[in-house]
Amino acid sequence: MFDQLITRIRSKNIGKENPLLDERSQAGEHLSSAIGHNRQALQQIFEKCSDISFREFQLHSTKKIKAFIVYSDSLCKPEIINDAILKPIMLEVSARKKDLQTKTDPSMNIGLSTDTHLAINAGDIPDIILQHLLTNYKADTLSLISEAADAVLEDNLVLIIDGYPIGIKASVQGYNIRQINEPTTEPNIRGPRDGFVENIGTNLSLLRRRIRTSRLKAENMTVGTLSKTKVNICYIQGVANEKVVTEVKSRIEKITIDNVLDSSYIEEFISDEPISLFPLVQYTERPDKAAASLFEGRIAIIVDNSPSVLIVPCTFIALIQASEDYYYSALFGSFARIGRFMAINIALLVPAITVAAFSINQALIPISLLNTVAGARESLPLPISMEIFLMELVFELLREAGVRLPRTVGQAVSTVGGLVIGQAAVDAGIVSPTSVVVVGLTAIASFTFPDYNVGTSIRIIRFSLIIMASVFGIVGIIFGLMILLTHLCSLRSFGVPYLSPIAPLTPQDLKDTVIRVPWWAMFTRPRFFGGKEPLRSDANQLKQKLKKRRNKK
């Protein structure tokens, strides 16, 4: 009985709901010739949108033709509207009309070529405006009301003239865009310091500046039913794998979410395994990194309103590489990379090994150290695995806190806080100094990753390894690592095995993984991206260099 009541209430409400009037509700409706009708339709759509403005005016002509423009206050730049649109239209249209009418002859009767395939007669006012007066770099015609509404919402201004079922849209974008700054999460010492911003046009320009070839393709897509975010898929034709490009496009097309606030939303949708410990889609805020990936044959996905550009396909090695390796000399770059590999190992394994060594496999440690630690731990309440677990948790908290604090305070809290808390804990007799040292070391090692996602994954894995180590000792660590390895080996990112080029082994790609060979030796592109152009530069360069060396000797 209760249910019936509820259903009846619900159905009543349903009946009373008004249909939503938005830009889609009138899909397919053409603009009419009557300006009043058009205006009313548009006003209905943009009801209660206080930033959408309408402005009526008259064209300077004998007939007193009415017109109005619709635009969004928040998206437009008033100067453009004033100078480039209203001024010519209001002041000059009639003069031109007379001009043209005298000069018209049939051979010049070229219809406006527009997307809407409207056959507009030359000599009509919209034609005149579009062809001669509208000094706007992006002007086009439209005929549907929904198109008009969409155009307004996409930084355009729509001009509708009485008596013609046509609208003209012109781009008046002028909202504030953040200045190009150094990306905060990926700083570097040497190399370009610009970073992506939240505007898709600027981002694309940052890429285009670096790749000035027409082979850099940028395909447009729109994602998000309510947010209608623009997405650009960029790749270098002939270098990137066509199959991957089509795959990317098809995956993005399948997204049916209503909003896309950040590129990470898209990342989750297109990733091969969204709930995986390791990211299968890379993101970056640095244009040089994105451009380098494009040269390798990968694909960049730029999302409007997001400074993170997605890069697919992604391999584990790519996550560990940093752009700076390429800006330093080969020797230092290799050194840095090897250091980073070791850092990963340390960050992952050291706490687990400590737990294993001190609780189960004491044979690992020489007796003097063992004795010291035993003595220091005598009066402590927790077993070592618990201690390390606890300290790791505390450091996690500190790290999270450090991210949210204002910059001035944040630095102080994270570093000093860690040390002070650690010391205080030791003094209070809660933990032993060994744990503080170990945890501090791993914290430092984990900051070396260029990619933040990997850091998070490593943290999670570290915790599980500590648990395994406390149960089975060093053998438990191996068990845990084997599971991890199995998982990693089975991952594929857009068809590329995750652990290339180590497994499957492609020897010619190895020269860019752990070390970085000098540029004259890097004449092949990574094979696994399926690029058609295997050679980056001339292989002759390599031969010449070797010859030079031989001659010198």
Partner 1 sequence: MLLFIVMTSTAILFIPGLTALTAKQNAWLVSLGAGISSFGVLIISTKLAQRFPGLTIAEYLPLIVGKIGGKVLAVSYFLFFTVLNILVVRETSEFLTVSALFGTPGIPINLVFVLICWYSAQKGIEVIVRMNQFILPLFVFAYLMACILAIPKADPSSLLPILEDGISPVMQNIWIPVQWYGEIAVLLMLIPLMNKPQEVLRKASYAVISAMLLLTFGSLTVLTVLGADVAGQMIFPIWFTAKTIEYGNYIQRVELLALPLWLTGIMVKSSLLFYVTILAARQSVGRKHPKLIAASVMVIVFSGASFLIPNTMALLEFLTTYWPSVSLLFEVVLPLLLLAITLIRKKKGGCRQ
Partner 2 sequence: MTSKAKRYARIILLILSLLFLSGCWSRNEVEDLAMLTGGAIDYSFEKGQEKYEGQWLIISPPSSSNSDGGASSSKSTDLVYKGEGETFMESTTGLNKQLPRLQTSNHAIFIIYGENMAKEVTAKVTENFLRYPESRPNEWLFVTKGNAGLFIQAKPTLVSNLFKQIKKQQEIALRTGVSRGVTFLEFCQWLLSTDRDPVLPQIKWNDENQSDSLHIEGFGVFRSDKLIGWLDRDESTGYLFLTQDLKDGLMTFKFGYGSQMISYQVGASKHKIKAELVDGKPVFRISIQTVGTVPDNSNFQISAKSASQMETAAAESVRAKALKTISKAREYDTDFLGLMQYLHRHKPSAWKEVETDWRKAFREAEIEVEVQAKIVAEGTLSQSFDLKD
The footprint of partner 1 (CB under 8 A) covers 360-361, 363-366, 472-475, 477-479, 481-483, 485-486, 489-490, 497, 499, 502-505
Q: Please, which residue, 303 or 477, has the CB nearer to partner 2? A: 477
Closest CA to 411 of 184, 188, 181, 197: 184
Q: What are the angstrom distances between the C-alpha of 5 and each of 10, 11, 13? A: 9, 10, 13
Q: Please, which residue, 94 or 362, has the CB nearer to partner 2? A: 362
Is the bond leading into 183 cis (omega within 30 degrees of zero)? no
Contact 431, 380 (CB under 8 A): yes
Q: Please, which residue, 211 or 471, has the CB nearer to partner 1? A: 471
Minimum CB separation of residue 336 from partner 1 in Å reads: 22
Contact 280, 272 (CB under 8 A): yes
Give, in degrees to the nearest 5, the angle at Cα 528 between 317 and 308.
55
Q: Please, which residue, 165 or 497, has the CB nearer to partner 1? A: 497
Tell me which residues touch partner 2 (CB under 8 A): 358-360, 362-363, 366-368, 370-380, 383-384, 426-427, 432-433, 467, 470-473
Partner whose binding site includes residue 503, from partner 2, partner 1, none (CB under 5 to 8 Å by kind): partner 1
CA distance 452 to 478: 25
Partner whose binding site includes residue 123, from partner 2, partner 1, none (CB under 5 to 8 Å by kind): none
Minimum CB separation of residue 303 from partner 2 in Å reads: 27
Tokens at 141, concatenated: 């015609």
| Burial of 45 per CB tally in 10 Å (0-12, 13-18, 19+) | buried
Q: Please, which residue, 68 or 498, has the CB nearer to partner 1? A: 498
Minimum CB separation of residue 453 from partner 2 in Å reads: 20
E strands, 237-298, are 282-284
Give, in degrees to the nearest 5, the angle at Cα 334 between 333 and 335.
90
Backbone φ, ψ for residue 46 (5° rounding)? -95, 35
Contact 340, 455 (CB under 8 A): no
Classify strands 282-284 and 309-312 as parallel, antiparallel or unpaired: antiparallel
Looking up tokens 């709901």 gives 17
CA distance 503 to 513: 12
Partner whose binding site includes residue 484, from partner 1, partner 2, none (CB under 5 to 8 Å by kind): none
Minimum CB separation of residue 453 from partner 1 in Å reads: 21
Partner whose binding site includes residue 426, from partner 2, partner 1, none (CB under 5 to 8 Å by kind): partner 2
What are residue 492's DSSP bridge partners? 497
Partner whose binding site includes residue 502, from partner 2, partner 1, none (CB under 5 to 8 Å by kind): partner 1
Partner whose binding site includes residue 482, from partner 1, partner 2, none (CB under 5 to 8 Å by kind): partner 1
Q: Please, which residue, 71 or 389, has the CB nearer to partner 2? A: 389
Minimum CB separation of residue 317 from partner 1 in Å reads: 12
Minimum CB separation of residue 213 from partner 2 in Å reads: 42
Minimum CB separation of residue 237 from partner 1 in Å reads: 30
Partner whose binding site includes residue 477, from partner 1, partner 2, none (CB under 5 to 8 Å by kind): partner 1
| Burial of 407 per CB tally in 10 Å (0-12, 13-18, 19+) | exposed
Minimum CB separation of residue 509 from partner 1 in Å reads: 13
Q: Please, which residue, 195 or 473, has the CB nearer to partner 2? A: 473
Q: Please, which residue, 393 or 483, has the CB nearer to partner 1? A: 483
Partner whose binding site includes residue 358, from partner 1, partner 2, none (CB under 5 to 8 Å by kind): partner 2
Q: Please, which residue, 163 or 530, has the CB nearer to partner 1? A: 530
